[in-house]
Amino acid sequence: MTGCESLATIDRRTDERLRESAALVGEAGSTPRYDSSKYATGAAYPTRATDEDRPATVNPPVESLKVDRRDITSETAQAIIGRFNSMTEAPADATVLSFGEAMNFAQQHASEYLTAEETYIITALRLLIEEHRWGPTFFNKTSAVMTANADSSGRYTTALALLNDFGVSQRLPYGGEVSARFLVDATEQLDNAIGSDGQSAEVILSANIPLLRGAGNTADESRTQARRDLVYAAREFQQFRRSFYVDLGRDYLSLIFQKQQIANADRQVKRSQEVEERTVALVTAGRTEPFQADLARQNTLFAADRLAQLKENHRLAMDRFKLRLGMDTTRPIDVAASAFALPLPDVTLDGAVELALLYRLDLQTEADQVRDAERLVDVARNDLQGDLNLALSSVVPTDGTKRRSGLQFRPDRNDYVAGISYSMPLDRVAEEARYRESQIRLEQQRRSHIRFRDSVAVEARQSVRSIEKSQLSLLINERSVEASENRLAAIEAAPERATARDRTEAVNNLQRAQDGLEQARRDLQVAVLEYLEVTGQLRLAPDGSLALPRGLADAPAAPDTSTPAAP
């Protein structure tokens, strides 16, 4: 290897480390797409300082700003409604994006997903840097020195000296370093003054080995930690993928729920208009009081206003969803009527806790970091010792009797040096403070692990209760919708027996019950996803699709009971 590895080699070795670390955590197929071609090579620094130290600002005075005023005196309500609908409703040519397609798109374009991938890649690059420090390190240094010395007569003796130092060094796994150097020294006189030419070479072998401080397993701590950090990064990336999937699924289901809300609100507006028309007819016939018509008209206006607000909320949520996907916000898309039909797992509180404590990747990292803190205590304790170092060297020269000896080495004239030095630990105040700090940090890490373990158990139990609560809410809201529909049907069967207030209350109650039912369906699917994530059972294929555990995968899918959107 040369002194500077090519970027292509760095990319290849980084990709190898990513695959190895992913395999260690059981996700061999889910590694980042390491495409180095998308990274910029940098730009030339500006030739003039004024190019960069005074960036331009666009902030014109208010006198130069102009905003056209809208004339609202001639606008009709229908014109305003039409303009608003054109802003909030999905275009007719909008692409219906399924959740699987959304997740696949996000894996390639979402900013937070790409950042998580690159964080993982950077950890692999740091490991390469650390491993390179432990491999053979080659160096070559060439220097040229011109000298001019004046004699008593004022004449100068000039000479050119060339020195080339080539060698290789290697760190030892238990401390110390060995090296081999090849030195060539050549001197050329540039005139005929007093002086002589010469050329010699030496091979120098040396070793510096610590026997106390810096010796043993502590010497390899930086490389050990770098390798463990890459495993932690692999776990963190997989944990991120699962959390990202659940978050994206929650957002997608919220968009579906909002569409159902809009459909329910649209039906409520139409029912309110029917109640209003019927009440106005009764008032005209003198069969009810005039204020009943005003009450029905007011309810219609409230329903229309709520519908407009729901449309705006949905459009804003859709734009934010596209931002999260890394998609152009002007691209027209829509979501499918349903995203998941997950079967319900048969779960218990204790069973969920056991699974979470066994499978959660972040909990495993917390436990491993306790071991990291224990090693740092050992490293700090090692620093308290004195410095006892063994130094060895051997020099193989060329023939010293020749002015130009070339590479004619004389092994019979080797020089050997062996020495040992000891420095007493008289001043270890800083090291003692770091040792105490490492002990404190170890206790902090142990408490952090215990606290995180307990929080994982709490989350696991909460995820089970959330499934049960969502099931109960679904059952209650189904009964509520049935009761509201029966009440509205009874009123429509005998309209003369009900007042306008009775009719509007029945319409509003049905709309709220339908919204509650859709919310319960969404919450139940989210609860199942969160249970799988919290217990560490959520698995994703490389393309981002959900892979269910055995039992759930074999179970029949839950029927799609979503309410179809109104045309």
Question: In whole numbers, what is the pLDDT of the chain averaged over residues?
Answer: 86
pLDDT at site 202: 87
Angle at 247 between CA 242 and CA 253, to 5 degrees: 125
Q: What is the mean pLDDT of residues 175-200?
A: 76
Residue among 141, 225, 133 nearest 170 (CA)? 133
pLDDT tens string 337-350: 888 888 899 989 99
pLDDT tens string 160-187: 888 889 999 999 999 999 999 998 887 7
Burial class (CB in 10 A: 0-12, 13-18, 19+), 60: exposed
> Could you give the CA distance from residue 382 to residue 222 in angstroms, rounded to a whole number?
15
pLDDT at site 227: 95
pLDDT band for position 440 (cuts 50, 70, 90): very high
pLDDT at site 562: 43
Residue 469 gets the label, from left (phi > 0), alpha (psi -120 to 50) or beta, of alpha
Higher pLDDT, 368 or 11: 368
Those residues with Cβ within 8 angstroms of residue 389's Cβ, 6 or more apart along the chain or in another chain: 176, 208, 209, 210, 211, 420, 421, 422
pLDDT at site 356: 96
Rg (CA), the chain: 39
3-class DSSP state of 3: coil
Helix (H) or strand (E) holding 136: none
Q: What are phi and psi of 122, to 5 degrees?
A: -60, -40
Q: Which residue has the tokens 């079967």?
A: 343
3-class DSSP state of 346: coil
pLDDT at site 507: 87
pLDDT tens string 75-112: 666 676 676 666 667 777 888 999 999 999 999 999 99
Residue 222 and residue 426 in contact, taking contact as beta carbons nearer than 8 Å: no
Q: Which residue has the tokens 């809300």?
A: 261
> Could you give the CA distance from residue 197 to residue 202 in angstroms, rounded to a whole number?
17
Is the predicted pLDDT of residue 558 greater than 50, yes or no?
A: no
Is the predicted pLDDT of residue 360 greater than 80, yes or no?
A: yes
**Domains of the chain: which residue ranges?**
139-172+176-213+387-423
Q: Which of 77-86, 354-363, 514-523 has the lowest mean pLDDT?
A: 77-86
pLDDT tens string 384-394: 999 999 999 99
Give percent helix, percent strand, percent coil of the chain, each to the nearest 5.
Answer: 55, 15, 30
User: E strands along 87-230, which residues?
Assistant: 95-97, 137-150, 156-171, 177-189, 198-210
Rounded to the nearest 10 degrees, how much is the dihedral formed by the CA atoms of 492, 496, 502, 508? 30
Q: What is the mean pLDDT of residues 450-464?
A: 97
pLDDT at site 406: 62
Residue 273 and residue 503 in contact, taking contact as beta carbons nearer than 8 Å: no
